[in-house]
Amino acid sequence: MKTQWTTFTHVFVTSWMLVAVNPGYLSVNASYRYLCDSPIYCPGPFLEKIQLNRVFNDSKTFVDMPTLKPLEEVIAAFSRIPQNASRDTLLDFISTYFGSEGQELVPATLDHFPYHPSFLQKIRSPILYEFAIRVHNYWPNLARKVDQSFMCAGCVSSFIPMNRSFVIPGGRFREIYYWDSYFVIEGLLVSELYGVAKDMILNFLDFVETYGFVPNGSRIYYLNRSQPPLLVQMVKIYYQATNDTSLLFHAFPTLIKEYNFWRQNTSIHVTSPKSQKRYTLNRYIVHNISPRPESYFEDYETVELAT
């Protein structure tokens, strides 16, 4: 994967260098649909107030908390908070109106968990064997599914629902991530956990059908950012491990859709000043003009310190 990462970095850096050197030779397509429109979880007065007062050490905590009251009620209560409210007042407000972060997720059972996958038999060194079996047995701790049944009518959350189970990176990363999942799936396949690997791919295909691309992660604040596109490779390694042609047939039209997104929505035309030949460069790029909701305070501070 080192090579692919290098390629992405290279394309990214190259496209910026071109912009810096000679903007006249470029035509840019920056058509991203604006989708982060929640008055709570997307940039706006609400988020700014909570995040810049640093109610939580990690900005991601707040944006991962579902409401416990209908949206209108939460907004109305927020409007009654005085301008100069202290951090404690804000914390009181949050504990009244919001549930705990990541509450929409519950552990998922991994069906047919193989206790002795065949890769273990190939390991000679007892130390490596011990290590491998611990990694293998860790999967059930990271398997999740969505359960929003606790939410009231009108309650909102930043989570993008998925129909199938998945594996999360863990820690503050309580949701499914796009390119992380490629590496997760590589591991799941080695562990012979084919069912959840397939479920993850099907979730991503649903994202492409719904949003036109795969967001950075399954939260609405990631809806205008993708990650290095590895869905095709996920399907490829899954197929190589299983010979499951039905998934190939199902995935193919959707993979074309994803590719069209990278071609049409994030690419640029570059004209060579020497040959006048016109090239299309598909870029991994984000069009973002405000602090990332999940790192709001951190981004704000970075900019403040730099200016």
Ligand X SMILES: *[C@@H]1O[C@H](CO)[C@@H](O)[C@H](O)[C@H]1NC(C)=O
When asked if residue 267 is in the footprint of ligand X (CB under 6 A), the reply is yes
Asked if 295 and 52 count as a contact pair (C-beta separation under 8 A), the reply is no
Total binding residues for ligand X by CB under 6 A? 46
When asked if residue 43 is in the footprint of ligand X (CB under 6 A), the reply is yes
The helix (run of H) or strand (run of E) holding residue 231 is helix 231-242
Chain centre to alpha carbon of residue 149: 23
Among 66, 102, 217, 229, binds ligand X (CB under 6 A): 217
| Tokens 């691309």 -> residue | 213
When asked if residue 205 is in the footprint of ligand X (CB under 6 A), the reply is no
- Computed over its alpha carbons, how large is the radius of gyration of the chain? 22
When asked if residue 31 is in the footprint of ligand X (CB under 6 A), the reply is yes
When asked if residue 4 is in the footprint of ligand X (CB under 6 A), the reply is no
Stretch that binds ligand X, among 8-16, 69-77, 230-238, 280-288 (CB under 6 A): 280-288
**Structure-token pair, residue 50:** 């909570």
Q: How far is the CB of 163 from ligand X (least distance, A)?
A: 4
Stretch that binds ligand X, among 14-22, 27-35, 127-135, 191-199 (CB under 6 A): 27-35
The alpha carbon dihedral of 71, 298, 290, 102 has a sign of negative
**Structure-token pair, residue 121:** 């038999």
When asked if residue 36 is in the footprint of ligand X (CB under 6 A), the reply is yes
Dihedral through CA 22, CA 23, CA 24, CA 25, nearest 10?
70
Among 15, 46, 51, 56, binds ligand X (CB under 6 A): 56
Q: List the one residue out of 202, 214, 210, 206 whose CA is nearest residue 247.
A: 202
Q: List the one residue out of 55, 168, 52, 43 whose CA is nearest residue 104.
A: 168
Asked if 215 and 226 count as a contact pair (C-beta separation under 8 A), the reply is yes
Asked if 59 and 298 count as a contact pair (C-beta separation under 8 A), the reply is yes
Binding mask 77-106 for ligand X (x = CB under 6 A): -----x-x-x--------------------
Q: How far is the CB of 305 from ligand X (least distance, A)?
A: 18
Among 51, 101, 294, 297, binds ligand X (CB under 6 A): 294
- Our CB check for ligand X shows the closer of 71 and 129 to be 71
- 3 state SS of 25: helix
Asked if 90 and 49 count as a contact pair (C-beta separation under 8 A), the reply is yes
- 3 state SS of 225: coil
Among 265, 270, 283, 300, binds ligand X (CB under 6 A): 265
- Our CB check for ligand X shows the closer of 80 and 134 to be 80
When asked if residue 163 is in the footprint of ligand X (CB under 6 A), the reply is yes
Question: Which residues in this chain contact ligand X in the complex, by CB under 6 A?
Answer: 27, 29, 31-34, 36, 42-43, 56-57, 82, 84, 86, 161-163, 206, 210-213, 216-217, 221, 224-225, 241-243, 261, 263-265, 267-269, 280, 286-290, 292-294
